Chains A and B, each alone.
Chain A
Amino acid sequence: MMQHPPDSLFPLAVSGLDFSVGGEQLLSGLSFELEGKGCTAILGPNGSGKTLLLRLCHGMLTPTAGSVRWGEATPVQALPSQAMVFQLPAMLNRSVRANIDYALRLRRIPRDERQRLVQEAVELCGLTEVVGRNARVLSGGERQKLAIARAWVTRPRALLMDEPTSELDPLATREIESMIQRVVAQGVRVILATHDMNQVRHLADDVLFLEYGRLRAHLPIRDFLNYQGDDTMRDFVAHPTRSGAIS
């Protein structure tokens, strides 16, 4: 069986997080803590640092200052227990089944168990009809489903998702949202960067709102939706379409 550090993965503690490139400060002084259940939406205009924050939490980037800790572990140490679905996931030039299986082979899971886990992931993500197809010829929606299946099959405790529906039509978007709900229902902690306020309403339990690389607010979803201030955050809440245009 796959080995995970037990509940030590949470809280996810981000403390005084800075990230800069070439002298330009892209994230500044972010601090927050997330507990081990539910779905958190990271919201904010384009360039506010949503993707950067996810990649720092995932361990793909190293902070300029501050820290990210999954329990006691660094993001890289926590990689076996936390996975990420990229906005444009890279697909290996092999079948859907082999793409999912690849993630398990990296962890040296025995073949019989791999077959069972792949089958479960295929069914959970609605990929049964395309399981033998080459991943590079899938539609955008199917690719995102495969990316989620490939991340989920390793049974992560936390799943980071970077705008998983930004390239998809409404039908595919609903399918992906429904998958995310199923994943959350299984106890996986989801952290989702998105522009889509409808998605936030449907999926999120709380919201991290970023602007210009700073954390403007970390609010439960109800408080966020009732926010009455006169600023960009209010614009997101009150005019989701216009906010999308701004972003």
Chain B
Amino acid sequence: MSDFGDALVASAGLLTGLNPDLLEIIRLSLFVTLTAVCIATIIGIPLGGLLAVKRFPGRGFVVLVIDTFMGLPPVVVGLIVYLWLSRSGPLGVLGLLYTPTAMIIAQCLLVTPIIAALSRQVIADAHGQYDEQLRSLGAARWQRIATLLWETRTSLLVTVLAGFGRANAEVGAVMIVGGNINHVTRVMTTSVAYETSRGNLTQALALGIVLILIAMLLTLLLHQLRRLNVEPG
């Protein structure tokens, strides 16, 4: 218990002292996660919207695949990306393995199905609720789409935050494709795993605190967004 207490005090010291190594890891983590979530949002929300409002052959299968991929095991995604990016893989020539780009790709594959599946449900509900009313008011197709996206903006942001939460907490896939190389691909989660295995609880705990703070911040944001959802606009 005293080991834990000592480690906690030391980790607080690392954080308040703005330890450069620690800041570098936090910065890279946020860069990888935010980039992956941005790309996943750009792909996931339009894909979810398309699946919500359009009927086409094979739609049910696509929905099934995306819903299934929401629960993809990260290590499996890591393994697949590894096989594609390794020297003997189809994309090995790009030399992306063990780079932040590879980690972004892996996180995109994990997060895109989450954002697409959740936004499909959000937009489908809104479409059912509003579409006839909007057509009745004379809204053209693009006006209906714009209105649906605006009306569901809070819920869509919640789906993006859910994707961010998943990406931020991810360790297996980024460990496999990033390699946890110091000053190159070491992010918070892989660093926590690595430092714990070395017995360096101080840095592991400091990064753990940052991860928990980010999770708390996300939860706070979600609560605020839900409250804002019925404010006059």
Most central of B139, B147, B229, B233 by chain A CB within 10 Å: B233
| A residues in contact with B3, CB < 8 Å | none
Contact A134 B233 (CB under 8 A): yes
Most central of B136, B232, B233 by chain A CB within 10 Å: B136
0 or 1 for each of A79-90: is its CB under 8 Å from B? (1 = yes): 110011010011
0 or 1 for each of A103-147: is its CB under 8 Å from B? (1 = yes): 100110000000000000000000000001110110000000000
Knowing A134-B230, A134-B231, the reply to whether A93 touches B151 (Cβ < 8 A) is yes
Chain B interface residue bracket vs A: 10 to 19
0 or 1 for each of A173-209: is its CB under 8 Å from B? (1 = yes): 0000000000000000000000000000000000000
Contact A103 B137 (CB under 8 A): yes
Contact of B232 among A95, A102, A154 (CB under 8 A): A95
Q: Which residue of B lies closest to A160 (CB)?
A: B136
Q: Which residue of B lies closest to A89 (CB)?
A: B133
0 or 1 for each of B195-233: is its CB under 8 Å from A? (1 = yes): 000000000000000000000000000000000011111
| CA of A23 to CA of B143, assembled, Å | 34
Most central of B135, B137, B147 by chain A CB within 10 Å: B137
Contact of B229 among A83, A93, A95, A103 (CB under 8 A): A93
Q: Which residue of A lies closest to B144 (CB)?
A: A106
| B residues in contact with A137, CB < 8 Å | 230
B130 within 8 A of A: yes
Q: Which residue of B lies closest to A90 (CB)?
A: B133
A60 within 8 A of B: yes
| CA of A125 to CA of B33, assembled, Å | 51
A150 within 8 A of B: yes
A157 within 8 A of B: no
Q: Which residue of A lies closest to B151 (CB)?
A: A93
Contact A90 B232 (CB under 8 A): no
Interface residues of B in 118-168 (CB under 8 A from A): 129-130, 132-133, 135-140, 143, 147, 151
Q: Chain A nearest CB: distance from B191 CB in Å?
A: 42
| CA of A132 to CA of B230, assembled, Å | 13
| CA of A160 to CA of B137, assembled, Å | 12
Contact A92 B136 (CB under 8 A): no
| B residues in contact with A134, CB < 8 Å | 230-233
Contact B130 A98 (CB under 8 A): no
A94 within 8 A of B: yes
Interface residues of A in 60-99 (CB under 8 A from B): 60, 79-80, 83-84, 86, 89-90, 92-95, 98
Contact of B143 among A84, A92, A106 (CB under 8 A): A106
Most central of A90, A103, A106, A154 by chain B CB within 10 Å: A90
| CA of A81 to CA of B231, assembled, Å | 32
| CA of A86 to CA of B132, assembled, Å | 9
Contact A132 B133 (CB under 8 A): no
Binding site for A on B (CB under 8 A): 129-130, 132-133, 135-140, 143, 147, 151, 229-233
Q: Which 4 A-B pairs have the closest CB atoms?
A: A94-B233, A90-B133, A95-B232, A134-B232
Q: A79-B138, A95-B233, A103-B137 provided; 17 other pairs, C-beta below 8 A?
A: A86-B136, A90-B129, A92-B130, A92-B147, A92-B151, A93-B233, A94-B232, A98-B233, A106-B137, A106-B139, A107-B138, A132-B232, A133-B232, A134-B230, A134-B233, A150-B137, A154-B138
Show 24 A/B contacts (Cβ-Cβ < 8 Å), sorted by A.
Answer: A60-B135, A60-B136, A79-B138, A84-B136, A86-B133, A89-B133, A90-B129, A90-B130, A90-B133, A92-B147, A93-B151, A93-B230, A94-B232, A95-B232, A98-B233, A106-B139, A106-B140, A106-B143, A107-B138, A133-B232, A134-B230, A134-B232, A150-B137, A154-B137
